Amino acid sequence: MNAAALPAGGPTGRAIAAVAPGADSGGRVAAAWRALALVEDPEIPALTLVDLGIVRFVTLRPDDVLEVGLSPTYTGCPATEFIRGLVAQALADAQVGAIAITQVLSPAWSSDWITPEGRRKLAAYGIVPPSDDRSSHPIGCPRCNSIDTERISQFGSTPCKSLHRCRQCLEPFECFKCI
């Protein structure tokens, strides 16, 4: 990623901080977004962290540290710490220089933040995307589109999803919870 513009530093990227502030700022921010767009969510590999909408901002601070704001999806989601590690690794690999990861708790992440592309990927993966209308509308089977479905469990393979079954095709499927 734009490595030619960076000084020949060690693998730690320490020397990158020597770049004049502002000189490469756009490149670093864009490179960080590109790197984050490739990081898969550990619980739903069909989605990247950017698809999920949990990367709230990437900004270059006056002290030349690239600050990344991350929101946890569900409070207490055990993947949160793991995701921080994935982000740190991806940014190190992208050689964007010194970074800081800030947890953004407010405004709280909501399933509304999942991008349209993310919703499309969820559906293609066989997981019903979150919907605001869930309480009043039946959940359609992602395989046969039948609305003759039932909820088997409030929790699917992860706490973020509930488990359902279609009475038509008899296949179980998961539903991304709306919060």
Q: Residue 123 — φ and ψ, nearest 5°? A: -60, -45
The binder of Zn ion chosen from 127, 166, 174, 176 (CB under 5 A): 166
Report the residue from 5, 23, 144, 147 that binds Zn ion according to the rule CB under 5 A.
144
Q: Which residues contact 157 (CB under 8 A, 6 or more apart)?
A: 43, 163, 174
User: Between residues 69 and 126, which has the closer beta carbon with respect to Zn ion?
Assistant: 126
| Contact pick of 143, 148, 152, 157 for Zn ion (by CB under 5 A) | 143
Taking CB under 5 A as the criterion, which residues in 113-142 touch Zn ion? 141
Supply the minimum distance, in Å, between the C-beta of residue 138 and Zn ion: 12
Q: Which stretch binds Zn ion (CB under 5 A): 5-13, 105-113, 117-125, 160-168?
A: 160-168
- Which residues lie across from 162 on neighbouring strands? 175
Terminal-to-terminal C-alpha distance of the chain:
36
Indicate if the alpha-carbon torsion angle 112, 113, 116, 118 is positive or negative: negative
Q: Which residues contact Zn ion by CB under 5 A?
A: 141, 143-144, 146, 166, 168-169
